[in-house]
A and B are shown apart, each in its own frame.
Chain A
Amino acid sequence: MSTPTESILNIGRTDDETALPAESFIVKYPTVARVVRVCFAYAFVALAVGGLFGVIQALHRTNVIRVIDSADYYTLLTAHGVFLAIVFTIFFLAGVFAWANTRSLERPPLNPRFTWLWVGTMSAGTLLSGGSILAGLVAEIDVSADVLFTFYAPLQAHPLFYIGLALFVVGTWLAGIDWFRQYLDWRADNPDERIPLQSFMVLTTMLMWYLSTLGVAIEVVVFLIPWSLGLMPAPTPLLTRTLFWFFGHPVVYFWLMPAYLMWYTVLPKLSGGRLFSDPLARVVFVLFLLLSTPVGIHHQYLDPGIAEGFKFIAMTNTMFLLLPSLLTAFTVVASVEHGARQNGGEGYFGWLTALPWRDPAFTGMMLAGLMFAAGGFSGMVNAGMNINYLVHNTIWVPGHFHLTVGTAVALTFMAAAYWLVPRVTGRALYSRPIGLFQVVLWFIGMTFMSAAMHRGGLAGIPRRTAEPEYSKFTFEAVVGTISSLRLQIAFGGVLLFVSLVIFLANIALTAANNEPATGLKTDLPPALSGPEQSPQVLDELKLWAIIAIVLVILAYSLPLWSIINGAGFYQDGITASPQVVQPVLEVLI
């Protein structure tokens, strides 16, 4: 007999436990497997809602089909951003990290109550923020948060939106504490061992996250919540923008790191080989810890109130942030090639045919990596400070990040789910051929949509706009016509949505599949060059954390000081728009 709560928490878990090997993850760590399932369930519900809103927007702004009012477009856009870029990505990350840390340290978290505490905190935050966004669609409810994913003041959301965000971030902090405690417990038993690679990736990523979320935490807790409650005046817009982007760039690496973790530790195995170099993998994650945060000002190249020198420093750091991704490209391709040669592949390029292309997990991750290369190149254009003038806030920018977060991350997560969901449910994947079709369809849909978005951006078509058609002028495409670009965006968006529906159906049918999963026993193979070939200092997490803090102080102290010196914390003449709630003080008096 199970209580209703237990049966919800057991969603997807196989009934036929005897069929599973004793060494499999789900049998060894049933509580963690349950945590992963719950995190994935949140992630996939958010993916469904965010994806539905995505296709509605793609069809609306290209004027193919309009089912909503243009004023509501921005409510859907806010939900699309928050549900996909915050809820889907970070809940999926939490599931992957809970799995990876437990698997590589070979022990569960110390206290399951604490684990459920962070899951619950993130859930509560999601429900508050998500609810306050969706309430904007219901005229009868006097709550809205049409402020987009970037929530720049003085656009104002309902206080519940900001409180939900704060809770969500606190939940992620607690999750990080959980994973660090797990590590310290392991360290007490293994004083001289190198940190297992997956755990190393989890810990460095969380250190980066603690550092970078300080910006948004200060913005939300110190400024936006008291302001939205009417307790404090409007904060200086430029200050809150700068605090947002302090967090707003490193968050993209927070999305990316679980994908990198899969590329480094699971993809080589899927290809039939081993990771090429464990030391280089560690170097890459250390570089991300050091360089992810002191670059946020590159989102503010065209902001007034920030001196050019500060922008130049952010640009230089950003360019060096290419290094870990370029190193990753080498290591991932080398590892996969090694796998292909183990399978009998030969020749300069002939080895490509000796890879398991029929496996949706493998093919999905490879296509995601390929598209990340394209996204990297358009990112280099964005990073080029003076070229950025041409593309800033045009539809080029969402074209870029649908290649990165929308494919490198999202497609890797979907591919990873095909491999990981059987491991945390004990149920066999419903259909590999359907999975394969789905990941390829995503790649094709994104090729159409993203290429057209990049080209539209060069013509000056703005992003985040319900109706990019103006009475006074028309846009002119460099090659082809604007109407053909619109059709390509709409067509690509529809393909992506179809792919998404197939993915969700495949996963739902897997969760209900009574056939037990096979192949759960196999371990992840060790790297060709093991950790013993790298200097011990790479594992000195405290040292890297301190250097990361110093770099952030160097990059941010002067710009923040100059903003506060010029405009102050509460600049005169700024008023909320729209004013969502009556200021509490006025109500009381």
Chain B
Amino acid sequence: MHVHNYEKLWLLASLALIVGFISTIVYGAVGAGVVMVNDEGGQVNASGLSEHPEFNDPGVRKVGPNEYEAYVVAQQFAFSPDPIEVPANSTVTFYVTSRDVVHGFEVAGTNANAMVVPGEVSKMTVEFNETDEYGVVCNEYCGQAHHDMAGEVIVKEPGNFTLDDAGESTTAQATNGTDETANGTGES
């Protein structure tokens, strides 16, 4: 097959570009430790969340030093709990599921983002380094009031954070959310 020399060069450069892109993804997974939302969350009965040992009471639990688990339920047209309060300098594993249709769970302006599919549990681990407040948006169309579905993640001073007052944000130190430090989804 006749291939022009310039064409061969272009082909090689294209292949190099493609391999280069794949390498950056491999680096992101292995070097930076970005884990994809996967099948670890398992399945639940979307209509039976009130009988589920964790989703019956959505909220944040402490599972180790600076380690937390957040069980979040999405439904038309709200997240529960709201706001989600976590301490700064902590690692939080979110378990998110839906009671009805497909929703999205996006901590706006960060890379903490997952699809929420009824019957499945989305698991992702996020590091919160500094106190801040983030909006949580449902980014998957879920019905006529989809645009009203939003929540908040409040990252509090560790000193001000107790699990008992989770849900009451009176002591939250709101800072100006200009620096995006909740660079989450890294499970290192």
Contacts and interface: CB of A to CB of B under 8 A. Distances in A.
Interface of A: 70-71, 73-74, 77, 146, 148, 152, 154-155, 236-238, 241, 276-277, 279-280, 300-308, 311-312, 315-316, 319-320, 322-323, 326-327, 330-331, 334, 380, 383-387, 389-390, 392-394, 459-468, 470-476, 529, 533-535, 562, 566-567, 571-575, 577-578
8 contacts: A154-B100, A300-B115, A302-B122, A304-B123, A327-B14, A394-B106, A473-B108, A573-B45
Given A394-B139, A571-B43, A462 B106 contact: yes
Given A465-B147, A473-B108, A385 B25 contact: yes
Contacts of B43: 305, 566-567, 571
Contact of B141 (A74, A306, A475): A74
Interface string B114-140: 111111111100000000011101111
Interface stretch (B32-40, B65-73, B85-93, B159-167): B32-40
B111 A562 contact: no
B25 A302 contact: no
A468 B109 CA distance: 14
A77 B143 CA distance: 12
Interface string B78-120: 0000000000000000000000111010111111111111111
- List the 3 shortest-distance A-B pairs measured between CB atoms, nearest first: A473-B135, A460-B108, A573-B47
B135 A470 contact: yes
A183 B44 CA distance: 52
Given A304-B37, A304-B39, A236 B119 contact: yes
Contacts of A237: 101-102, 117-120
Given A460-B137, A473-B135, A535 B1 contact: yes
B70 to A, nearest CB: 15
A279 B11 CA distance: 14
A386 B152 CA distance: 23
Interface of B: 1-4, 6-7, 10-11, 14-15, 17-18, 21-22, 24-25, 28-29, 32, 34-39, 41-48, 76, 100-102, 104, 106-123, 133-135, 137-147, 150-152, 177-178, 185
Given A241-B102, A386-B29, A389-B111, A466 B135 contact: no
A572 B184 CA distance: 32
Given A237-B118, A280-B7, A308 B36 contact: yes
A445 to B, nearest CB: 25
A302 B113 contact: yes
Q: Identify which of A311, A334, A534, A574 gathers the most chain B CB atoms within 10 Å of its CB.
A: A574
A562 B43 CA distance: 12
Contacts of B112: 389
A302 B105 CA distance: 10
B36 A311 contact: yes
Contacts of A236: 119
Given A304-B121, A389-B113, A74 B139 contact: no
B29 A466 contact: no
A566 B118 contact: no
A412 B144 CA distance: 35
